[in-house]
Homo-oligomer: A and B are copies of this chain.
Amino acid sequence: MAGKVLAASLTPLTGDKKIDNARLADHVVWLLGNGCDGVVLFGTTGEGNSFSVDERIATLDALANSGVDPGKLVVGTGCCALPDTVALTAHAVRHQVQAVLVLPPYYYKNATDDGLFDTFASLIETVADPELRVWLYHIPPMAVVGFSTDLVARLLDAYPQQITGFKDSSGDQPHTQMLNERFPSLEVFAGTEGFLLDFLRKGGAGCISATANVTAPLCAEVRDQQNSDDADALQAKLSAVRFAFQKYPATAVLKAYLARQTGHDDWALVREPLSMLDASKLADLDEELEGLM
């Protein structure tokens, strides 16, 4: 069945707020065994930018050593400092991951398309590996700096073998659909499962979602039943779950939920500057999820 569901994995922490690589490996295995076609490490939900380059490299090494197939992984590598992006990208490519998901450098809000083009050109030419596959990560609510349609076209013209995907976390469904129509060579992923069925019907690649950390089985049902009579009802249920979670800070609410589901309290821990979810909010969420999960 066409279409892919990827989870933007959470990054579990130990009591001293270091990455818990063993628990992460377990979670990735769970996601891949419960409907996900792939897992993104170190995206926004995964607090990627809150970890140092060394921490991120050590965790990918640990995951690969644990037996997770790197070909199922997409690794967030976009930093403000180009040498960091290059180091993380080259390391991920050496592990033969499926792709890297690359934020634009997001400190200088006045960066121009020329400057962003130069950044990606330098990244691709410095890594200089024919196996490199770059997915552009467009998330204006966090990065503010984004990829204009013109910039995407320029990058595709210059690097058609390397630029193969786009994650649109603008939250703007018409924008996601426009990109999908305009750039047939790109796998365009919506940053939410909230319109997964509609997007799959229009030929979209699928979704890369934060909430898929808990909704993976429901996402997979929509993907697998997209041509059945149940499809719309399944999507309605999935959307209701998504929208219930979406009212809370994503990383904190998903970690708090998994802490309770798994009985591992440390799952609720987040790295600064995020804050843990107030326990009372989980009770509110439960009410909204009643009958859905």
Interface residues of A (CB under 8 A from B): 44, 49-55, 80-84, 87, 104-112, 114-116, 118-119, 122, 141-145, 249, 271-275
Partner of A50, one of B82, B143, B249: B82
Smallest beta-carbon distance A133→chain B, Å: 21
The answer on a CB contact under 8 Å between B274 and A108 is yes
Further pairs besides A112-B275, A116-B273: 8, Cβ < 8 Å = A50-B80, A50-B108, A52-B81, A52-B83, A108-B274, A111-B273, A118-B273, A119-B272
Q: Which residues of B contact A106 (CB under 8 A)?
A: 107
Complex contacts, A107 vs chain B, CB 8 Å: 44, 49-50, 106, 142-143
A32 vs B49: C-alpha distance when bound (angstroms): 35
Q: Is there contact, CB below 8 Å, between B141 and A273?
A: no
Say which residue of B105, B108, B249 sits within 8 Å of A110 (CB atoms): B249
Instruction: State whether A50 and B272 are in contact (beta carbons under 8 Å apart), knowing that A55-B83, A80-B80 are contacts in the complex.
Output: no
Q: How many copies does the complex hold?
A: 2
Tell me the minimal C-beta distance from A94 to chain B in angstroms: 19
The reply to whether B275 and A81 contact each other, CB–CB distance below 8 Å, is no
Q: In whole angstroms, how far apart are the Cα atoms of A271 and B54 in the complex? A: 22
Residue of B nearest to A86 (CB): B52
Contact of A108 among B115, B119, B142, B145 (CB under 8 A): B142
Is the Cβ of A115 less than 8 Å from the Cβ of B273? yes
How many Å from the CB of A80 to the closest CB on chain B?
4
Is there an interface contact between A273 and B119, defined as CB atoms closer than 8 Å?
yes
Find the B residue at minimum CB distance from A272: B119
Q: How far is the CB of A50 from chain B (nearest CB, A)?
A: 5
Quick check: B273 and A105 within 8 Å, CB to CB?
yes
Chain B residues with CB under 8 A of A82: 50, 271-272
Partner of A275 from the list B44, B114, B142 (CB cut-off 8 Å) is B114
In the complex, chain B residues whose CB is within 8 Å of the CB of A112:
275
Q: In angstroms, how far is the closest chain B Cβ from the Cβ of A18?
A: 10
Nearest CB in chain B to that of A84: its residue: B52
Given the interface pairs A107-B142, A142-B107, A144-B109, the reply to whether A115 lies near B272 with Cβ below 8 Å is: yes
Contact residues in B for A87 (Cβ distance below 8 Å):
52
Across the A-B interface, give the 6 residue pairs with the lowest CB-CB distance, nearest first: A115-B273, A111-B273, A119-B272, A49-B107, A52-B83, A49-B80
**Chain B residues whose C-beta falls within 8 Å of the C-beta of A53 in the assembled complex:** 52-53
Please give me the residue from chain B that is nearest to A140 by CB atom. Answer: B109
CB contacts (< 8 Å) of A142 on chain B: these are: 107-109
Min CB distance, A87 to chain B, in Å? 8
- A141 to chain B: closest CB distance in Å? 7
Cβ-closest chain B residue relative to A54: B83
With A144-B144, A249-B110 as given contacts, are A105 and B272 in contact (CB-CB < 8 Å)?
yes
**A82 CA / B80 CA spacing, docked (Å):** 14
Most buried by B among A109, A111, A115: A115
